[in-house]
Structure 1
Amino acid sequence: MQNQFPKNWRKVKLGEVVDINPRQINKDNFHKEIEYVDISAVGTATLESTTTHLLSEAPGRARRLVKNGDTIISTVRPNRRSFYYFKNPTDNLVVSTGFAVLSSKLKITDSRFIYYLVTQKSFTHYLTSNVKGSAYPAITTDVIENAEVLIPAYEEQNQIASILSSFDDKIEVNIKIAKTLEETAQVIFKEWFKKFKFPGHEKVKMIDSELGKIPEGWEIKKLSDLVSTQYGYTESASEKEIGPRFLRVMDINKSDWIDWSSVPYCKINDKDLLKYRLSAGDVVIARMADPGKVAIIEENVNAVFASYLIRLKPLNKSVGNYFLYFYLTSSQYQGFIFGSSTGTTRQSANARVITDCYLAVPKDEIIKEFETIANLLRKMIQTKVKENQKLAEMRDLLLPKLMRGELRV
């Protein structure tokens, strides 16, 4: 029976309509300093950060160049859906060889259409079904090149991409707003609790302590005396709704908030569910894979936390949940945990190490005032996160229908 394609659509191999890894770094004729994108820095449509290196000291995997409109997709563990679309990258940006770089062909493929084509879940399933290796599952460039895809005429590609990108553009704006709100809260925390410029500080005497000068009435306490600790639950994650959400390190280490819509599920019995269920106000911190990464639970969801995470709960009201969260995200604490983690190939830290530090604890009224401000800012962030979840749901509903030609534009 003849295949039924939408009018003006054709089936091709992806390698026929995109260039894959077209540009490599030339160390004899390139910038002396590079911005590097490692696999760990990329999530699902997100780029957490880049690192700067002298070209002569750059990682060996820093090889591939990208230009405006390129899509990168991780060839390592493709089930994690690590991909990103570049808009006006810097001239010295270099990405890891763990990514495949896809460049559209002029007037043949629209770059944004290609991005949506290869980031569909059906394409992820195709990649996952073709991985090689168990300890380090990865795909080869040939797998991407030989993927059979449907594409319409160039004009329709552009129209489809415009519809879908209108959702992503709004999502991007909301993310920028959320990041600004988070940065505002971090600045307030630093001003009040590191520089000691809290409201009314002019009238407070500074006294000596084992951590240096602190405001009178503040106390130096060990973190382990302020919080309880609990290791997480061991189980395999599932995309099927077979139990509660299963919060893992990879669900908290790419942004400053949790997108619960992307967190998988797990099996668990009733007894363990009571033991490991998360509650609003809980703070979790990674002990392995990415030690020191922190998240705060801000709504009551049916969720438990994985074994690479440790839950911290304040033992009394002298330490607020947001005070604890922002202390753990501060450069002071992050420097401590970086220096205290052990391991060469995979760093780790146990509960004792994570809480083996001292901090200056303010008076209750200052904590309460900060909690009020932080709560307000974080609620504004949550509003943007929930709005993005709805936008993503609408986009993902349209995506397969548009990409199969079931909805024509």
Structure 2
Amino acid sequence: MSEKLTVKNVVNINKSTLSAKDNWSTLKYLDTGNITENQIDTLQIFQKGEKLPSRAKRKVEKGTIIYSTVRPNQKHFGYFDTHSNDLVVSTGFATLDVIDPRINSKYLYYLLTQNSVISQLQSIGENSTSSYPSIRPEDIGNLSFVFPDIDIQNKIADILTFIDKKIQINNQINQELEAMAKTLYDYWFVQFDFPDQNAKPYKSSGGKMVYNPELKREIPEGWGVDSLWNIANFYNGLAMQKYRPDTNEDDYLPVIKIREMMNGFSKDTERARLDIPSEAVVDRGDILFSWSATLEVIIWGKEKGALNQHIFKVTSDTYPKSFIYFELKSYLKVFKAIAELRKTTMGHITQDHLKQAKIVVPPIELISKLDAKLQPIMLKQQILENQNQELTQLRDWLLPMLMNGQVKVE
């Protein structure tokens, strides 16, 4: 039998906090910006004696739901399947631990991560008195839901967890494929141990190296030097508010801003007309480089979109995509350092920085030979990313249908 229950009556909110009495030698810390839709990208690690961030306080355990109280529509939430004694999360999260045996904690997590609930909390946040949309833990606690029998909750949670785990596995495979491709690329074009004419590693086997005054280091004989600006075409996106479709227009392109570039499309993604300049259309497989605020380089793996300003679409008439992609990725640390120094004007880089970014350019025949090895790896990544997009759409379609009983679990 279904029951309507209020969240605060079935959970402990912010149950446990790190104190001076806690004995730890190494502590992992999760900040609000480092998890999106239960995918953690970074954990900060601190050793005993190091100063912790002031917000590193909330303890979590198996079954804890964490939910960022800032900008709910950015989906910084997650669920802990296992317990970890050496992990704390930011006080920017509300933590929820289920205390009612009638409630499956994973089912509650999926209830709270429905788009309709996120929109409701975002609306509350936008009416708050702070300078940015923020909610209180009580705002989550005051939500009420109809809960079916625990057996049905268990089955629904299992179905949705299965989809999420497949997405997670695909992400892990893609990370390993990326590392594999990067290792191969570095071996050839950073360590200079590409196969020589005798199929031996060039530099390690005594291949001739010459000093390059521009780079102030040795490079293989016969190789060139150029700038990133010269080897590729950098097309900056457009201010897409000028290309809004009519309100009743069904044909449109979703706009790729930095948020979409990193996290994919959502129901909050803006729309653009189809008649935008062709250069601003992004297809699956295009290289995107966000040059302002968040500096990242990716190969776009989702559906066609419209490129917003502050992101370059990077192409080349001469060099294969793999060469451009890995050279940009290799230079990213330098660009981030430059942007950090310009934070008074929102950290970014300029065309001049791309012109000053000097790189080693191997002979095109060698670049093409490595590209033939990298292409199958990168294609596999695209296939998995496309599969993840389809799985995400399936999950987001199923979620409300299962929760409101339109789709039943036998």
- 1:226 aligns with 231
Which of residues 15, 40, 53 is equivalent to 2:46?
53
Shift of 1:143: 0.7
Residues 234-313 of structure 1 aligned to structure 2 (within 5 Å):
234-235=239-240, 243-253=252-262, 259=264, 264-268=269-273, 270=275, 272-279=276-283, 282-291=286-295, 293-297=296-300, 302-313=304-315
8 Å contact from structure 1 (residues 24, 64) kept in 2: yes
Q: Deviations over 1:346-369 (max 9, x none)?
A: 422223224421111111112112
Matched to 1:335, the amino acid is: K
Q: Using the alignment, how far apart are the partners of 1:266 and 1:249 within structure 2?
A: 14
8 Å contact from structure 2 (residues 227, 354) kept in 1: no
Which of residues 166, 174, 180 is equivalent to 1:184?
180
Q: Secondary structure at the match of 1:129?
A: helix
- What is the aligned-residue RMSD (CA, Å)? 2.7
Q: Secondary structure at the match of 1:11?
A: strand
Identity %: 28
- 2:190 aligns with 194
* TM-score normalised by length of structure 2: 0.86
Q: Does 1:169 align with 2:174?
A: no
Q: Using the alignment, how far apart are the partners of 1:163 and 1:209 within structure 2?
A: 59
Q: Secondary structure at the match of 1:213?
A: strand
Q: Secondary structure at the match of 2:39?
A: coil
Moved more, 358-367 or 21-30: 21-30
8 Å contact from structure 1 (residues 18, 109) kept in 2: no
- 2:327 aligns with 327
Shift of 1:172: 2.0
Residues 72-111 of structure 1 aligned to structure 2 (within 5 Å):
72-88=66-82, 90-105=84-99, 107-111=101-105
Q: Using the alignment, how far apart are the partners of 2:284 and 2:118 within structure 1?
A: 33
8 Å contact from structure 1 (residues 32, 56) kept in 2: no
- 2:335 aligns with 337
Residues 354-393 of structure 1 aligned to structure 2 (within 5 Å):
354-393=354-393
* TM-score normalised by length of structure 1: 0.87
Matched to 1:185, the amino acid is: A
Q: Does 1:10 align with 2:18?
A: no
Shift of 1:89: 5.2
Q: Secondary structure at the match of 2:96?
A: strand
Q: Using the alignment, how far apart are the partners of 2:186 and 2:278 within structure 1?
A: 36
8 Å contact from structure 2 (residues 272, 306) kept in 1: no
- 2:347 aligns with 347
Equivalences, count: 391
Distance 1:276-1:86 versus aligned 2 partners, 3 A rule:
same
Matched to 2:141, the amino acid is: E
Shift of 1:29: 2.1
Distance 1:260-1:147 versus aligned 2 partners, 3 A rule:
closer
Shift of 1:19: 1.7
Q: Using the alignment, how far apart are the partners of 1:229 and 1:137 within structure 2?
A: 34
8 Å contact from structure 2 (residues 174, 384) kept in 1: yes
Distance 1:217-1:78 versus aligned 2 partners, 3 A rule:
same
Shift of 1:144: 0.3
Matched to 1:313, the amino acid is: T
Distance 1:162-1:15 versus aligned 2 partners, 3 A rule:
same
Distance 1:39-1:266 versus aligned 2 partners, 3 A rule:
same
Q: Using the alignment, how far apart are the partners of 1:197 and 1:111 within structure 2?
A: 52
Structure 1: stretches of 5+ with no match in the other structure: 1-7
Matched to 1:247, the amino acid is: I
Structure 2: stretches of 5+ with no match in the other structure: 197-201
Matched to 1:229, the amino acid is: F
Moved more, 396-405 or 74-83: 396-405
- 2:199 aligns with none
Matched to 1:287, the amino acid is: W
Q: Secondary structure at the match of 1:405?
A: coil
Shift of 1:134: 6.9
Q: Using the alignment, how far apart are the partners of 1:260 and 1:130 within structure 2?
A: 23
Q: Does 1:115 align with 2:109?
A: yes
Matched to 1:36, the amino acid is: Y
Q: Deviations over 1:10-54 (max 9, x none)?
A: 111111112222111113424244222122212223111112234
Shift of 1:207: 1.6
8 Å contact from structure 2 (residues 253, 305) kept in 1: yes
Q: Deviations over 1:105-133 (max 9, x none)?
A: 26232221111111111111211121124
8 Å contact from structure 2 (residues 253, 274) kept in 1: no
- 1:4 aligns with none
